[in-house]
Structure 1
Amino acid sequence: MAGTKDKNTIAGVFQGTSRGFGFVTPEGGTDRDGDYFIPPRATGGAWHGDKVTIVPDRADPFDGDRRSARIVSVLERANKTVTGTLRRFERELWLQPDSDKLPGPIKLTGKSRGLHSGEKAAVEVQSYGGGGKPPLGALRETFGKAGTREAAAAAILYNYEIDREFPVNVLEQAEAAAETVPAEALAGRLDLRGRCVITIDGASAKDLDDAVSLERDASGRWVLGVHIADVSHYVAEKSPLDLEAWERGTSVYFADQVIPMLPVELSNGICSLNPQVDRLALTCLMTMSEGGEVLGHSVHKSVIRTTERMTYEDCNLLLADSLPEEAVLRTQKRALEERYAHILPMLRDMAVLAKALEKRRRLRGSLDLDTSESYIICDEQGRPVDIRTRRQGESEALIESFMLCANETVAQHLFEREKPGVYRVHEKPSADKAEGLKTMLEPFGYTFQEADNFTLQKILEDAGTKPEAPIISTMVLRSLMKARYDTQNLGHFGLAAKYYCHFTSPIRRYPDLMVHRILSRVIEDGERQGKAPWEKRMAVMAQKAAVQSSEREIAAQNAEREIEKLYMAEYMSGHIGEELTGAVSGVTKFGLFIMLPSGVEGLLPAEALPGDKWHYDEKRMTLRGEHTGRVFSFGMALEVVCVQADPGSGQIDFRLAGEGELPVIAPREKRHELPIAPDFVRGKPRTKAGGRRARPPRHKAGRGGGRKR
């Protein structure tokens, strides 16, 4: 149903639960204490995520009693499509939703020939039910057998509108791109083919979009060159390639797979800065002092020819201060030193300059958060066989420092010339987030008055190498605001940068491509005074790109996170019964989230804790036993045993090790294994409400085929 607000109603977003009741967060509200409780029979047909209007039951809550309300209208539906498992009841097919917050099952309309019970599928909701009638939906996609990692991953990608395949017209345009740089394309470009320019990437990387160089000028000052693939030369505005890149916004990475923003014919071909071939680039040349201060800069359309294609692994070995202990590595290092003798002096100078740049960032307040990350190793069949932790080496830090410096310099270049731009902004933590961090840090003995850069960095430094250091870093990270894109230069809190944009990855991020287009116009205009005719139009495009790219970045991150949970669960399914060391990474009233050193995270349900009545303290993130006084808190180290892992849902469950005989943990509800409730099928409404937000299907018109710091 739909409706409009009046003076007696409050607008907000409905947050459903699996038990039928829910909460409404008023518009603009951030504090949970300001939510309204919605009883099971007062949801008004709303589903989780819907924008609704409510009428409060009473103006003020009684002491200790949460204020309640009833939903009177649904203003905007959040769940346009729903994924789940097909179930047949008598002669009809129903979709049992993946989310236990949804009121389903959803009755399928139209033909069902060829469809089978137990398949994972997506439906477009045609009716949200009510009045004794069930929700109705039309089948849009099937993904394979429910309960498998492959089907679950495909459903997640569908939910977030991430397409593996490109439309035909996009592929045709990509395949038509030149494989080499023609002579006419060099006109007006700065020719840097005679300079020593190198790329440094992971060994498996194929889309090499950034290269670096370093030399001294006549005055003995450093001249750092950051050379970025000129993707804008090959992706024309409003072309099929551009429209598809806009839709995608970013490349998506998970386990051993990548879903690129641009077809591989471009990303791995003419736009990749492959060794010893001509490539078009945008170059930022920065003249620097010994201490890393940027004394001057210039931005050019250029042509380069990279000298070497280096890997992080080789560079880290080359830059090691001493010979490794292992004989094999010593032999390997000597071979690398001989192989790269012509660039080794420059590489060592780069390491010195990178350390100077890092020191400058630290002194101005840049936060040094734990940069380790988990990555999944898959076999030839794509099955997860190991999960490892990747830590930043010297060459990774080197490239990061140079890219950060270029991003800041380009952002300042655009800002000072009052040109349109797409900035990467990161604002100071909100008062609520700062207060929450203060409460969580108190048990560890850390206090502060204001969550500014230097205060947070001091906390990170004080934690140092203490056992709780990773947890402290996680707490600080979670307290920060979400970085996003904006056309206003609001600075970057985490980096303590006054100017910041994304310039260095146009192959995999649309904002970088947008910045390249603007820079190219600025370069072509030269020293033109005043506003150029293109600026107004480009400012509008930049604003749209900032909004779209922020949304698609969040979608990609969510999809990556959810899919990697599937891989981790599949990996852990081979480790059932093993005793493992972990730490509490989250505390809720229903249990503890436990994270292993590998990055695998699972739930230790409250009912599996030693016999007691457990009280949840939301602010301090603890569970306290009423009778024993035992406390489980955020960051606590625990020995656990993995008791179940479901690749179809990504759910992993633990129990405590060494606690004697504990109750067997009941498997968490898997809706694809549940039968359809006969009373609902016969038309009797159920009281559950809520559901996961799903993006509506993309408009296909004019797409030429196909579906998606």
Structure 2
Amino acid sequence: MPRSESKEAYRLIEDCMLLANRAVAEILIGSEMPSIYRVHEEPDDEQWASMGMELQALGVPKLPQTRQEINEAVKLAAGTAVEYTANLAILRNFKRAEYSSTQIGHFGLAFDDYTHFTSPIRRYPDLLVHRMLKAVEQGKQLPISSEQIDVIAMHCNETERKADELERQSIEKKRMDHYGDILNTSPTSAFKGYIVSIKGKGMIVELPDSLQRGMVTFASITSDWLEANKEMTQAKTRGGKVRYTIGDEVEVALAKVDTARGFVDFVLADQIAQPRRRERRPRIQPDLKTGQPRRRGKHRRRR
């Protein structure tokens, strides 16, 4: 399930679409006509703090507080082993873009003015913007108020969230079927992944080719007894030695695919043929003569 590459021609088309959306937004603002915009708020204080902590855990020496500092963090991570997970750490601390009658700018794109104009056949806000642009061109005023646009924007935001959730569920179902087939037909297949978070029981690994996530439990790792640190950024031995950190690249194989509950368990690829062997403490047994504890296997000397 390889992801499609971002080719130069695709990027050129995307740039043209962004510029068109931006230019139309500027025209609508200049007309002072009530309109609908695509807005994106900057992260709140908690998201900024979380972003900085995650980047520091990855070894990126940056605590972003502005859009420019985010760009600097991206450049610092570019070409390094943590590039993939650093970008994830930034994106998951962004707010969701929405439609609004108030133009507050688009933080993610670093645009002061932005709307959706280029897809009127599949998005209602784009169609509405086309009608507004036509009215501006003809010197007319659409019979619509800012309050009505707010209602439309709220409705479009809600339907967009529902559509995104349905799309996510559909993709997840196909992915689960795909990896279930692999587990049944080729259970030792290995995949490259990145540790994207650490939990109390194990590490969450994401496969970049399909975005499938799954847990590698600490119990499945036979080489060491591991536990998460307090910050949930590293997996350490009980002696305090760091074994894994968020951002590390690992090779994993499928351990379990539960299509009904929608989750996947991974195991480190080098652990596939190694059964879990726990070191057990010797069983303590009382000495029948003295009543004192005696370790099993330790015999009294014959007199």
2:256 match: secondary structure: strand
* Equivalent residue number for residue 245 of structure 2: 633
- Whole-Å separation in 2 of the counterparts to 1:562 and 1:588: 24
Output aligned runs, 1:65-104, within 5 Å. none
Deviations 1:86-124 (A, max 9, x none): xxxxxxxxxxxxxxxxxxxxxxxxxxxxxxxxxxxxxxx
Q: 1:496 offset after TM fit, Å?
A: 1.0
User: Given the alignment, which residue of 569, 578, 585 partners 2:196?
Assistant: 585
Match of 1:572 in 2: 179
Aligned to 2:217: 605
User: By how many angstroms is 1:639 displaced?
Assistant: 2.0
Q: What is the 5 A alignment of 1:593-672? A: 593-599=204-210, 600-610=212-222, 612=225, 614-617=227-230, 619-627=231-239, 629-659=241-271, 660-662=274-276
Structure 1 match to 2:135:
521
Name the aligned partner's letter for residue 516 of structure 1: H
Does the residue aligned with 1:585 lie in a helix, a strand or coil? strand
Distance in structure 2 (CA, Å) of the matches to 1:450 and 1:595: 24
- 2:291 counterpart residue number: none
Identity over the aligned pairs, expressed in percent? 26
> Counterpart of 1:589 in 2: which secondary structure?
coil
**2:82 is the counterpart of 1:475:** no
Post-superposition shift, 1:523?
Answer: 2.6
RMSD: 2.1
AA in 2 matched with 1:592: M
Deviation of 1:407 (Å)? 0.4
Tell me how far 1:450 sits from its aligned partner: 4.0
Cα separation, 1, equivalents of 2:208 and 2:276: 25
- Secondary structure at the aligned position of 1:658 is classed as helix
Judged with a 3 Å threshold, the aligned counterparts in structure 2 of structure 1 residues 442 and 559 are, in CA distance, closer, same or farther, namely same
SS of the aligned residue for 1:643 comes to: strand
The answer to whether residue 121 in structure 2 is matched with residue 507 in structure 1 is yes
Structure 2-normalised TM-score? 0.81
What does residue 558 of structure 1 align with? 165
For 1:629 and 1:609, the matched residues in 2 are separated by 15
**Counterpart code for 1:416:** G
CA contact (8 A) 2:190 2:251 kept: yes
Q: What do the CA deviations read for 1:392-422 (whole angstroms, capped 9, x no partner)?
A: 1111111111110110111111112111111
Match of 2:32 among 418, 426, 429: 418
Give the 3-state SS of the residue equivalent to 1:652 in structure 2: strand
The letter for the 2-side match of 1:525 is G
2:73 to 440, 444, 459: 459
Any conservation in 2 of the 1:612–1:628 contact (CA below 8 Å)? Answer: no
Q: Distance in 2 between matches of 1:613 and 1:467?
A: 23
Q: Distance in 2 between matches of 1:412 and 1:479?
A: 28
Contact 2:198 2:228 in 1 (8 A): no
Residue 431 in structure 1 maps to residue 45 in structure 2: yes
Instruction: Specify which structure has the higher proportion of helix.
Output: 2
What SS does the corresponding residue of 1:573 show, helix, strand or coil?
helix
Bigger proportion of residues as strand: 1
Distance in 2 (CA, whole Å) between partners of 1:499 and 1:547 is 19
Structure 2 unaligned blocks of 5 or more: 278-303
Q: 1:591 to 1:433 in 2, by over 3 A?
A: same
Q: TM-score, normalised by structure 1?
A: 0.36
Letter in 2 for 1:446: V
After the TM superposition, which residues 3-18 of structure 1 pair with which residues of structure 2 at under 5 Å, given as runs? none
**Contact 1:440 1:620 (C-alpha < 8 Å) held by counterparts:** no
Secondary structure class of the residue paired with 1:569: helix
Equivalent residue letter for 2:55: L
CA separation in 2, counterparts of 1:631 and 1:488? 49
CA distance in 2, matches of 1:609, 1:395: 45
What are the within-5 Å matches in structure 2 for residues 308-387 of structure 1?
387=1
Q: Alignment partner of 1:583: what SS?
A: strand
Distance 1:615 1:444, change over 3 A: closer
Whether the aligned pair in 2 keeps the contact of 1:589 and 1:623 (CA below 8 Å) is no
| Number of residue pairs matched by the alignment | 269
2:39–2:114 contact (8 Å) kept in structure 1:
yes
Counterpart residue number, 2:296? none
1:513 is matched by which residue type in structure 2?
Answer: L
SS, match of residue 614 in structure 1? strand
